[in-house]
Structure 1
Amino acid sequence: MKLNKPWPLLPLYKDNLTLSPATENDMSLVFLMGQDAWGAEYQTEEYLDICHSSEKYRSGNWFILKNSKGTPVSSVISYAIPGPDNHSWIGIGSLATEVSSRNKGYGLSCLSMLIDGYEKQQTINSFILFKDVQTNIYSSAGFMTAESMGYKGLHPNLLLRTDEKNNPETGYFLKTSIRYF
């Protein structure tokens, strides 16, 4: 499965929050939001070096959520994943919230605004992610396990959000190209 950068999104606004593309200057802060989840075994500088040099991280579009004061509180990456018949899916990963801002709804807002942006700005309505942290955020944003949608034997943490469940395209996509990104 080849990961590509999706078309960019314009900034999104909701409830005094702004979700916009992350700039190069934002990236260290973005990466540090998730260090406790994905890089706790590394010293900060080593972790940042790994993130900044990651081909996977360079293959997607990063977004940063800022609160009403302009303070970065959450971040996420998206990838375009080509599906059959020139239909793209959006892969979502590395959803993280700054430690002092957790449990305030920012992660769900970040995820929901990202999905809303793709649905409204690009009419993309098929999303995929792998749940690597136990949380209810994903189900609150409309994701379901692939298994609960009838796709048995796939990665147990594979989640989908699509209005085309059980259609042949979804089945083809899952059978031919799915792996943890």
Structure 2
Amino acid sequence: MVEIYKMGYDVWGDNLPYEEYITMCQASNKYKKGKWYVLEATDTKQLLSSLIVYELNFSEDKIVKGIGSIATPLFLRKNGYASLLIKETINKLEQEENCNNFFLYSDIGIEFYKGLGFIVLPNDSQKYKDSVCMYYSKENDIDSISLDIPDYF
């Protein structure tokens, strides 16, 4: 897990000393609530990207997940690893759990996630100034479903 936490240190470290940041991640209740997915090189087993998925089932008839903490080591970014991991994770959850509703909060701008099929929720549905809530579904248009917009996860 330390290797996974390390991937996001430059973005989420908030100027904390490295050891303090890792300790904070290890103690995080938020990180314990989700399920981590990783992409690794098949030959070397090097971790290439990671993300966490949270259960957001606040609808009785729909399975809803939140994707967060998407990270790739700094020296491996811009190689498509995070995109591949997001696509594969969504495909897995669609097939194995019949999940067709995904939310995420983007802290890096919207274009990266729009390229993966996510849409930006309308301004009146946004809850935060610095993070944009986005939605993805192959089956449902955001206007055709009635889901509460999740808090940042």
Both structures adopt the same fold (TM-score exceeding 0.5): yes
**1:180 equivalenced with 2:152 (yes/no):** yes
Partners in 2 of 1:118 and 1:67 — Cα distance? Answer: 21
Partners in 2 of 1:84 and 1:120 — Cα distance? Answer: 19
TM superposition score normalised by structure 2 = 0.89
Partners in 2 of 1:71 and 1:87 — Cα distance? Answer: 35
- Residue 171 of structure 1 deviates from its aligned partner by 2.7
Counterpart residue type for residue 6 of structure 2: L
Partners in 2 of 1:51 and 1:89 — Cα distance? Answer: 25
Residue of 19, 22, 28 corresponding to 1:48: 22
- Give the equivalent residue in structure 2 for 1:84: 59
- Contact 2:110 / 2:120 at 8 angstroms: preserved in 1? no
**Among the aligned pairs, what percent are the same residue?**
27
Q: Any gaps of 5 or more consecutive residues in structure 2?
A: none
Residue of 28, 34, 57 corresponding to 1:60: 34
Trace 1:64-143 onto structure 2 (pairs within 5 A): 64-69=38-43, 70-134=45-109, 136-143=111-118
Counterpart residue type for residue 26 of structure 2: H
- Taking a change above 3 Å as real, the CA distance of residues 76 and 172 of structure 1, as seen in their structure-2 partners, is closer
Trace 1:127-166 onto structure 2 (pairs within 5 A): 127-134=102-109, 136-147=111-122, 152-155=124-127, 157-162=132-137, 163-165=139-141, 166=143
Deviations 1:94-129 (A, max 9, x none): 000011111100010111111111011111010000
- Contact 1:107 / 1:137 at 8 angstroms: preserved in 2? no
- Where does structure 1 differ by over 4 angstroms across 4 or more consecutive aligned residues? none
Task: Give me the CA root mean square deviation.
Answer: 1.6
Counterpart residue type for residue 94 of structure 2: E
- Residue 42 of structure 1 deviates from its aligned partner by 1.0
- Give the equivalent residue in structure 1 for 2:5: 31
Partners in 2 of 1:54 and 1:112 — Cα distance? Answer: 26
> How many residue pairs align between the two structures?
147
- Give the equivalent residue in structure 2 for 1:22: none
Q: Any gaps of 5 or more consecutive residues in structure 1?
A: 1-26
